[in-house]
Amino acid sequence: MKKKRSDIWVIYAIVLIIGAIIFIFALDARRVKYEPIALNASNTILGSMTYLGDLPWSVSEYKLRAILVCNGLKIFVTDNQDYGTIALGCGYYIAQDVELIPKPDFIKGEGYIRFQKESIE
């Protein structure tokens, strides 16, 4: 009886490992398929935006990273939130130590932009 129980655990472990390998390959195949689409979408959003000027402070002084101006609506950016199609054709003011970067989502095949604090290297 003891031998049979350990055999079941071995079979269970093998099935679990095979399932994990299949999942990893499927995820990678999806990434390869959607990578150019997501990258293109991110760059399209980034290219459609208009730089309006600098904010007179840095992120170390205030939390406000940027102000998005879309159709007269002002969106105040204070964190690492990603912005998708809502940012198409918008203008922006940006704080001094913040950069606007594309953030493609390879899993979903969608593009985003992010106002990220510049890293000091």
pLDDT in tens, 52-103: 999 988 878 888 899 999 998 999 998 888 999 889 999 999 998 899 999 8
Secondary structure of 53-103 in HEC code, one letter for each residue? EECCCCCCCCCCCEEEEECCEEEEECCCCEECHHHCCCEEEECCCEEEEEC
111, 43 Cβ separation under 8 angstroms: yes
Which residues form the domain of 26? 2-117
The yes-or-no verdict on residue 110 having pLDDT over 60 is yes
pTM for the structure as a whole: 0.69
pLDDT band at residue 121 under the 50/70/90 scheme: low
Give Rg (Cα) of the chain: 22
Question: What pLDDT sits at residue 89?
Answer: 92
Report the half-sphere exposure of 20 (CA within 13 A, side-chain side): 6
Q: Please give the helix or strand (H or E) that residue 121 lies within, else none.
A: none
Report the half-sphere exposure of 59 (CA within 13 A, side-chain side): 18
The yes-or-no verdict on residue 4 having pLDDT over 90 is no
For 37-50, write each residue's pLDDT tens digit. Answer: 888 888 899 999 99
| Number of domains forming the structure of the chain | 1
